[in-house]
Amino acid sequence: MSYQPRMPEAHHQEKARLPFWAALLFCLALSCVIVGILSGLLLSHLSATLGRSALTETLPPAPTTPATFGLSGQASCRRLAPPTTSPWLSVARDDATRYGLDSLTFEWQIWQESKFNPSAVSSADAVGIAQFEPDTAAALGIDPTNPQQSLDAAARLDRERLSDYAERGVDLAAHYGGASAHYAYGFVLAAYNAGTNAVETAWSRAFTDDNGSVWPPHAWDWLTEMSSQTRYYVPAILGCL
């Protein structure tokens, strides 16, 4: 029986190793996969960024809020009118201009009330394009089913309340920063939805304590003291808080 010498252990280990060219191909393939993934993520990010930039550039500048009663800044965060072809939209815009109101805020207020439908009737018996209850309409001397009268009355009412809340808006802006017009119109809208008594009650709860007037953590803390309907109503019209 012939003797065959045993291969050294090191030689067996060399045979088990992956050839150099195969290892190189594997590394190249892995690099291509990683580069492809990173490129896809980068392109996705750039597309989203450019898409947002293009959308922003196509939006027109918002109409300037009139500096009525010494207010400053923009009342609304919106830049476009409500999505309606109603002929009453231009009437609402003209009424806002006549009474020195922020036009976008007033237009979105009417949209929130009735979607510019002169025949709208709510479950609370509010009637017409501006959703006046019969007692309120009688006190204003208008026919709530007449959109011309209702829009004019709503604008007049907003201006009266703006005069009441303008100073408070200025005070909030001085303490918390931001636009005084934005704060003041928040009060106007809350009063339209819930009444001035509800606004004053909410203000008292948030901005006074046993020792008198206080500054709570946030400028809109008074709104959190109001009903869920009003808490939704105000930012739905302004577009933000």
* 119 and 218 co-located in one domain: yes
pLDDT score, position 2: 46
**Could you say which of 58, 81, 110 is where a domain stops?**
58
Provide the residue range defining the domain that includes 38.
17-58
Q: For 76-216, where are the E strands, in sequence order?
A: 208-209, 212-213
* 37 and 120 co-located in one domain: no
Residues 174, 157: Cα–Cα separation, whole Å: 26
* 50 and 73 co-located in one domain: no
> What is the four-CA torsion angle of 146, 149, 152, 153, rounded to 10 degrees?
-100
Q: Which residue pairs from 107-112 have beta carbons closer than 8 angstroms and sit at least 24 positions apart in sequence?
A: 107/81, 107/82, 108/76, 108/78, 108/82, 108/236, 108/237, 108/238, 108/239, 109/154, 109/158, 109/189, 109/192, 109/237, 110/82, 110/151, 110/154, 111/82, 111/84, 111/237, 112/233, 112/236, 112/237
Q: Does the pLDDT value for residue 123 go beyond 80?
A: yes
The two structure tokens encoding residue 142 = 């208008």
> If you search the block for the tokens 């060219």, which residue do you land on?
21
Q: 17 vs 84, which has greater pLDDT?
A: 84
- Which of the four pLDDT bands, split at 50, 70 and 90, describes residue 182? very high
Residue 7 in any domain: the answer is no
Residue 110 in any domain: the answer is yes
The answer to whether the CB of 150 falls within 8 A of the CB of 130 is yes
* 73 and 115 co-located in one domain: yes
Q: Does the pLDDT value for residue 30 go beyond 70?
A: no
* 110 and 212 co-located in one domain: yes
Residue 8 in any domain: the answer is no
pLDDT score, position 13: 47
Q: Does the pLDDT value for residue 50 go beyond 70?
A: no
Task: Provide the percentage of residues in the chain whose pLDDT is more than 90.
Answer: 73
Residue 143 in any domain: the answer is yes
* 40 and 129 co-located in one domain: no
- Which of the four pLDDT bands, split at 50, 70 and 90, describes residue 83? very high
pLDDT score, position 58: 76
pLDDT score, position 62: 86
* 156 and 43 co-located in one domain: no
* 39 and 115 co-located in one domain: no
Residue 158 in any domain: the answer is yes
Mean pLDDT (the chain, rounded): 87
- Which of the four pLDDT bands, split at 50, 70 and 90, describes residue 55? very low
Residue 10 in any domain: the answer is no
Residue 104 in any domain: the answer is yes
The two structure tokens encoding residue 144 = 């709530």
| pTM value > 0.75 | yes
Query: CB within 8 A of 144, min separation 6: which ones?
Result: 127, 128, 130, 132, 134, 137, 150
If one counts the domains in the chain, the total is 2
pLDDT score, position 60: 82
Q: Does the pLDDT value for residue 236 go beyond 50?
A: yes
Q: Does the pLDDT value for residue 183 go beyond 50?
A: yes
- Which of the four pLDDT bands, split at 50, 70 and 90, describes residue 38? low
Instruction: Report, as an integer, the average pLDDT of 214-219.
Output: 97
Q: Does the pLDDT value for residue 23 go beyond 80?
A: no
pLDDT score, position 39: 52
* 51 and 149 co-located in one domain: no
* 51 and 95 co-located in one domain: no
pLDDT score, position 184: 98
Q: 205 vs 26, which has greater pLDDT?
A: 205
Instruction: Report, as an integer, the average pLDDT of 189-215.
Output: 97
- Which of the four pLDDT bands, split at 50, 70 and 90, describes residue 46? very low
* 54 and 96 co-located in one domain: no
